[in-house]
Chain A
């Protein structure tokens, strides 16, 4: 390490910034704290998907289904829908387990498929789950259909609820600020878990499968089980994030789990740098914050220039998003912070046997 002191100072600076961030943002508006919280949720999703797509090389276009499963599991167990109000520390592991189960069930049929077909089948599964959630209000009302489930319990420990504002240590701590710290803690844990997974026997097995599945099998790797493990782990992270999403937003509906969301999370992974944990974090941050900053600036700018909204920020956001996807694939396909392995993979295009993608 060249400049250990620089690194240490940098880490301390980042830690301090992260610690005071919510209060700084709250000065601008509580909305920004909420935006940050959703950004962290997206980072969690992107990290989960990164296991499937980045580590194991399985192109999943329906990842949001696991988010949905986690969210609905929490909602069904902690809301007026069934009158159940289990505490979060019981529900989250249940949600994680249910999501992992779905990960295996949805992953199993895809194991023998090649790359694009895998993508399409996972896309299909994602949509099927959404449609089912949207329609499970008849004949028996399980999910309340398109109206969604409201009144979802926040995280609570005894009297201490994460949703209500209170005064702590002389500061005004709002609900979103409390959730921020929880999310930050979870994020740090998840990043750590991912780093350790990447650098382990399982992580290497995933890499082997991604590089050359036939050689991986010949090396004694049970590719079926290892692939299912990737799906299960990715799904677990998605499920946990989903549970937190339910509690934070206190209302969920199938609208939050549409195909565009799967594409969004995939884009965060791809744009940031598939396989590179920090790249993925960066990708998620960019794709979460840039649209919000856009909306913040574009709305008043258009009002000032034209006197009305010519183009809704939402449309601009999606146009830029689509353009970003195309441009990144053309000019920097390995992503903004490419992993060294991916960089090699993508710059040696079409050169000989060894680099051939035998998806």
Chain B
């Protein structure tokens, strides 16, 4: 049971980050039916910029919170600019084109961003400096650190903030209208180009913060961190229902938990020695040994499997997709 709860806590932490990144994917897909492959790189850039600032400021002896805020404060505008630029210059001209074109463009942008980051920061791994006093709280046999609490809290705050924006403000209504039917939204006086640009910008800002949180949690940031994180977050968005904002939140948390539990238990589940049929016959099982078919090194496969299973068996996701008529 302890393993279960512990993995649950870990899963919720990673899952909250996935959820925030997933929001970026889901909002963009909902509004222009594009899988923004480059979103993962935006998150990575957020982490890298913030870490650079943080490492610059850390020796100065300022309070950890201030350092983090400044670092994140630098990351957000950079990411917003990146997000805006890709929409304005690469995606907007392709609005009416067949789906293949923006998809290829997105892949191209992802490659460009990744290698620009490689140019700027090289292959070095940026480490998170020891400025936070780590405190661990114990609940029974389960540990949760202050960093984990902070990450979960911040992510939930961001999700709440976004929900407020989308469901309670005129801008949010404009976003939802454009997502449902861009032509009619335009006829109602909504500047759809502006709304779409804002969608990218908001997604990028959220992604920047998520990147910082992710980097803080794992202690490192590197130019490659965007791809896998992006793919997992996209899986989460699809799991919840693409285009569906509450869906992205749910999908992210769920994926994080499934991944953590899976990684925790798959070694046990696929250990053939636990099954009577094999325990007697396999050489490796003697003297309490293991014959593990698939260990936690298969962790990344989980998000792919989830993605594939959802798309094949329930493509609308858990909460249903929200994609409008493509005009």
With the chains together, A326 CA to B116 CA distance in Å? 15
Which residues of A have CB within 8 Å of B290?
139
Cβ 8 A contact of B308, one of A125, A328, A333, A346? A125
Q: Which of A109, A115, A121, A267 has the most CB of B within 10 A?
A: A121
Are A323 and B112 in contact (CB-based, < 8 A)? Answer: yes
Contact: A315 with B104, CB < 8 Å? no
Q: Which residues of B contact A325 (CB under 8 A)?
A: 104-105, 107-108, 111
Question: CA separation between A322 and B297, bound complex, in Å?
Answer: 31
> How many residues from B make CB contacts under 8 Å with A?
50
Q: How far apart sit A112 and B315, CA to CA, in the bound complex (Å)? A: 10
A330/B93 contact (C-beta < 8 A), A116-B103, A127-B304, A311-B119 known: yes
User: Any chain B CB within 8 A of the CB of A230?
Assistant: no
B83 within 8 A of A: no
Nearest CB of chain A from residue B103's CB, rounded to whole Å? 6
Task: Kindly state whether residue A300 has any CB partner on chain B within 8 Å.
Answer: no
Q: Which residues of A contact B315 (CB under 8 A)?
A: 113, 117
Q: Per a CB cutoff under 8 Å, which of B96, B100, B298 touches A135? A: B298
Of A124, A266, A333, A357, most buried by chain B (CB within 10 Å of CB) is A124
Residues of B within 8 A of A10 (CB): none
Whether a CB of chain B sits under 8 angstroms from the CB of A212 is no
Considering the chains assembled together, what is the distance between the CA atoms of A124 and B305 in angstroms? 8
The answer to whether A333 touches B97, judged by C-beta atoms less than 8 angstroms apart, is yes
Q: Which of A312-359 contact B (CB under 8 A)?
A: 315, 318-319, 321-326, 328-330, 333, 345-346, 349-350, 357, 359
Residues of A within 8 A of B (CB-CB), count = 47
Give residues of chain B (223-276) contacting chain A, Cβ–Cβ below 8 Å: 227, 231, 234, 238, 272
Is A188 an interface position by the 8 A CB rule? no
> Which residues of B, 72-130, contact A by the 8 Å Cβ criterion?
90, 93-94, 96-105, 107-112, 114-116, 118-119
B293 and A270 within 8 A (CB): no
- The answer to whether the Cβ of B1 comes within 8 Å of any Cβ in the partner chain is no
Output the nearest chain B residue to A134 by Cβ-Cβ distance.
B297
B292 contacts partner chain A, Cβ-Cβ < 8 Å: yes
The CA-CA distance from A266 to B104 in the complex, in Å, is 9
Kindly identify, within residues 287 to 326 of chain B, every residue whose CB is under 8 Å from any CB belonging to chain A: 290-295, 297-298, 300-301, 304-305, 307-308, 311-312, 315
